[in-house]
Structure 1
């Protein structure tokens, strides 16, 4: 039997060592943001064979998703005081929750739509219902109740600090023509209800036309808490700051010097979000739980936590049909978070993405398939763990690790993808419009790959450019798509015979690292 035929039949046990972050630091050069990563030629590398017994793989402790339940939301509501509601209509100029929408000329939008000096409905105090709002506003020009019991709001609706608005078993329509939107600066509970961007002229939803076209939106500000349970948000958002659709955002640094608000928090549980410009967006948020929801047919992103958010839980969601970009993406230093047990498929680009220095995140047990980009992409995001994900039939790679170091890939299945099962990529981004002070990166990649199956991927199971280190162990690479069997390229191709010998004749660990650097700065033998 020919050697390449043998490789097609046997599982390949590439010994990838499980090394903690501290230990991994000994294998690569740790760099400051301003430093350049060292670049290596093929002849600079050495292959080490390590006993497989040194490999340790332990299931990470996953968070308890059951704590985000209907009962838990009701308990949160029960803690809010039942003070008498107070609602008023006021001009929007001095309301902190509306500052972003009157600065820099944006007030013109509301002057045109309201035909006067812009006003807003303020929930000022107490525990308030939509019926309370309707009765105290008392003006059908601002808020109307239809025969079917649904409400149409024709002004921005603002929940002030210390106030609580409860929307339960209701339908709320936000008038596109009159510039309505919702801003939470206190406590908001939306339970078993529907909130829709509404086009009154058409007597129907404000479906997406173009990104610059105003549509109603929802935003929850610093210091606020938002709870959404069993509800639907739909047809919201356009391409303006904090107006993307469903947003949870801290105030700007300038405003928060005066307001001194804590990070906003939110629970989104068992709800549906569709037809929204960004299905979910957050900025400097903490302790956000997005659990067991459906995000479908949103415009740019399904779920998009952003900018210095942390301790997020994105679990059990079904995300599909995102038109333009990714199903789930965390970007710009979104750290210490969990993306687990989600089903992301048929999205315009990738299923799940970690981007722009997002670190110490766990991406585990997700099913990601039939996306038009990668299954999972890590872009300029080191120190992350991918555990037991299934990545199938994505147009590009099952997993792509670009300019990211200390990426640990354990027990993942990447099958039938359009290029590689796992690709480690070093890429120069200098020709892009990226702000390299805010979004620094290093042209460096390093990976540890343990367990799992890389099967029938069009370009092969695995490839990596110029890694700081590459470790493999117990990876099943049966069923290559090519008739010639498994064939590595680049660095792995240079050591292919030695790798296969180590893996097949004893199931040893394989580690590729640059040679030690000599005193003159060159790689030594």
Structure 2
């Protein structure tokens, strides 16, 4: 990206004249109020905002040791609508049972672990049946579904577990699942599948469970069906609403070719220093969860966004590299909870860089986009609609055919929209478009615009673009624009 430069006074004069000419044909928003903030006031505001955002998204990640003692191992029938069958019920119609029927000649059975922990070597020795679990390559091949009971744990230490696709294999965790320096991946084999659509093994961890993936690799898991997209955490309709969240810890690991690498529901998750490659739907998809996503690389998402946040979700998305998403690098939709997006490098999105839809942040749950690099999206760098408040601080944004920042609300929302200390430019349309927000605070930004050919500010700010730019660019002040209509 070419360096940004502060707009010159000659360019500013041209822009003021151009803006005035265009504003003559615009309806001036009723009773606009423009005032300024002192540098001290603004700096205090920024400090408070950053502290509030950081505090609102912070949490202490729950960690849990594996259950003590040796787990018991049994084969139990899988029912779809009986007492105690709820861990299996969501998968009755998604292909799992049909895949199992092609391999097991009797009523579908699962390996069930209860009352302690077990390793793969111990599990293989206990089962003593190669049709269920056998040594394979550098580890073991599992051909039955495996359920970890709420008081049980499965430990993978320095090994590989291959999940046979043809036989309907899946890991269902109600207790404790840990991968340490291990690999988990599907194996298709040479037999045609027995399902009416593509089907691959998956991992689901129900509320109350703990899953950790440390220095490990997950390959070719999941397909595009409910709770089966890869590594999923969820609250079952058969579990009490007050069931403690599923907890997930991922560190220094690699996820490749999953449908959705990590799908979170009713969860608390920390995902750090890991790599996500060639996800089909999303790399990380979080709903009604707490999420700390930092230091990761997300590359190549085939159909949707790199990261999606929804529902009652609080999230810190920090110091990640997100490249090549089919939709947006980060998508936040219909979400109610604090979000801090800080220090990320975002590029080559085939949609928008950051996409925001139907959000109502509050001082207690702010939405802060701080110190990110957003470049080379095919849409706008930041595209927002029906967003009640937003802070864009200290970002470098450019090289997009649309807008650097676009916020459009169908009906006016209170705000504030804060655009401070950013470097904005190299865009195909106007640099900042604002429509339908009553309180806009802007200043300290550096623009790279094309005088006479391009407005820096359009929408509700166009009629007094000249006043705003004179105060913020020429005089270096912070301006608050209050639209009272």
**TM-fit CA distance, 1:197:** 1.4
> Which residue in 2 is equivalent to 1:435?
none
> Which residue in 2 is equivalent to 1:316?
295
- 2:460 aligned with 1:460: no
- 2:371 aligned with 1:388: yes
Q: Secondary structure of 2:349's partner?
A: coil
Aligned pair in 2 of structure 1 residues 504, 282: CA closer, same or farther (>3 Å)? Answer: closer
Match of 1:371 among 343, 349, 354: 349
> Which residue in 2 is equivalent to 1:84?
70
Aligned length: 451
| CA offsets 1:255-285 (integer angstroms, 9 cap, x no match) | 114x963211110111111111111101111
Match of 1:223 among 183, 191, 208: 208
CA distance in structure 2 between the aligned counterparts of 1:416 and 1:481, rounded to whole angstroms? 14
> Which residue in 2 is equivalent to 1:332?
311
| CA offsets 1:441-482 (integer angstroms, 9 cap, x no match) | x978651111121121221321111222221021111x2257
> Which residue in 2 is equivalent to 1:126?
116
Match of 1:488 among 447, 457, 476: 457
**TM-fit CA distance, 1:121:** 0.8
| CA offsets 1:474-497 (integer angstroms, 9 cap, x no match) | 1111x2257735443322221112
CA distance in structure 1 between the aligned counterparts of 2:179 and 2:196, rounded to whole angstroms? 27
- 2:400 aligned with 1:417: yes
> Which residue in 2 is equivalent to 1:168?
157
Aligned pair in 2 of structure 1 residues 293, 131: CA closer, same or farther (>3 Å)? Answer: same
- 2:417 aligned with 1:447: yes
Q: Secondary structure of 1:44's partner?
A: coil
TM-score, L = length of structure 2? 0.85
> Which residue in 1 is equivalent to 2:30?
44
| CA offsets 1:384-426 (integer angstroms, 9 cap, x no match) | 1111111011111111121111211111111112211111122
> Which residue in 2 is equivalent to 1:437?
none
CA distance in structure 2 between the aligned counterparts of 1:414 and 1:279, rounded to whole angstroms? 28
CA distance in structure 2 between the aligned counterparts of 1:485 and 1:492, rounded to whole angstroms? 14
Instruction: Point out where structure 2 has 5 or more consecutive residues left out of the alignment.
Output: 1-6, 16-26, 362-366
| CA offsets 1:230-256 (integer angstroms, 9 cap, x no match) | 11111111122211111011122xx11
CA distance in structure 2 between the aligned counterparts of 1:178 and 1:423, rounded to whole angstroms? 50
Greater share of residues in strand: 2
**TM-fit CA distance, 1:342:** 0.8
- 2:294 aligned with 1:305: no
Aligned pair in 2 of structure 1 residues 8, 394: CA closer, same or farther (>3 Å)? Answer: farther
CA distance in structure 2 between the aligned counterparts of 1:217 and 1:42, rounded to whole angstroms? 57
> Which residue in 2 is equivalent to 1:31?
none
- 2:132 aligned with 1:142: yes
TM-score, L = length of structure 1? 0.79
CA distance in structure 2 between the aligned counterparts of 1:489 and 1:162, rounded to whole angstroms? 60
**TM-fit CA distance, 1:45:** 4.7
- 2:248 aligned with 1:263: no
Pairs within 5 Å for 1:270-281: 270-281=252-263
Match of 1:507 among 472, 476, 481: 476
CA distance in structure 2 between the aligned counterparts of 1:262 and 1:502, rounded to whole angstroms? 52
Q: Secondary structure of 2:301's partner?
A: coil
**TM-fit CA distance, 1:132:** 1.3
CA distance in structure 2 between the aligned counterparts of 1:201 and 1:483, rounded to whole angstroms? 65
CA distance in structure 1 between the aligned counterparts of 2:318 and 2:162, rounded to whole angstroms? 33
CA distance in structure 1 between the aligned counterparts of 2:242 and 2:390, rounded to whole angstroms? 37
> Which residue in 2 is equivalent to 1:38?
none
CA distance in structure 1 between the aligned counterparts of 2:165 and 2:415, rounded to whole angstroms? 47
CA distance in structure 1 between the aligned counterparts of 2:35 and 2:304, rounded to whole angstroms? 41
After TM superposition, the structure 1 stretch with the greater mean CA deviation from structure 2, 275-284 or 106-115, is 106-115
CA distance in structure 2 between the aligned counterparts of 1:176 and 1:111, rounded to whole angstroms? 12
Pairs within 5 Å for 1:151-230: 151-201=140-190, 212-230=197-215
CA contact (8 A) 1:114 1:179 kept: no
Aligned pair in 2 of structure 1 residues 5, 105: CA closer, same or farther (>3 Å)? Answer: closer
> Which residue in 2 is equivalent to 1:6?
9
Aligned pair in 2 of structure 1 residues 329, 114: CA closer, same or farther (>3 Å)? Answer: same
Q: Secondary structure of 1:499's partner?
A: helix
CA contact (8 A) 2:299 2:323 kept: yes
> Which residue in 2 is equivalent to 1:345?
323
RMSD of aligned Cα (Å): 3.0
CA distance in structure 2 between the aligned counterparts of 1:234 and 1:294, rounded to whole angstroms? 12
Q: Secondary structure of 1:466's partner?
A: strand
CA contact (8 A) 1:171 1:195 kept: yes
CA distance in structure 2 between the aligned counterparts of 1:482 and 1:297, rounded to whole angstroms? 41
Aligned pair in 2 of structure 1 residues 456, 85: CA closer, same or farther (>3 Å)? Answer: same
After TM superposition, the structure 1 stretch with the greater mean CA deviation from structure 2, 227-236 or 417-426, is 417-426
| CA offsets 1:121-143 (integer angstroms, 9 cap, x no match) | 11122220011111111111111
CA contact (8 A) 1:227 1:268 kept: yes
**TM-fit CA distance, 1:513:** 2.2
Q: Secondary structure of 1:297's partner?
A: strand
> Which residue in 2 is equivalent to 1:408?
391
After TM superposition, the structure 1 stretch with the greater mean CA deviation from structure 2, 211-220 or 359-368, is 211-220
Aligned pair in 2 of structure 1 residues 377, 109: CA closer, same or farther (>3 Å)? Answer: same
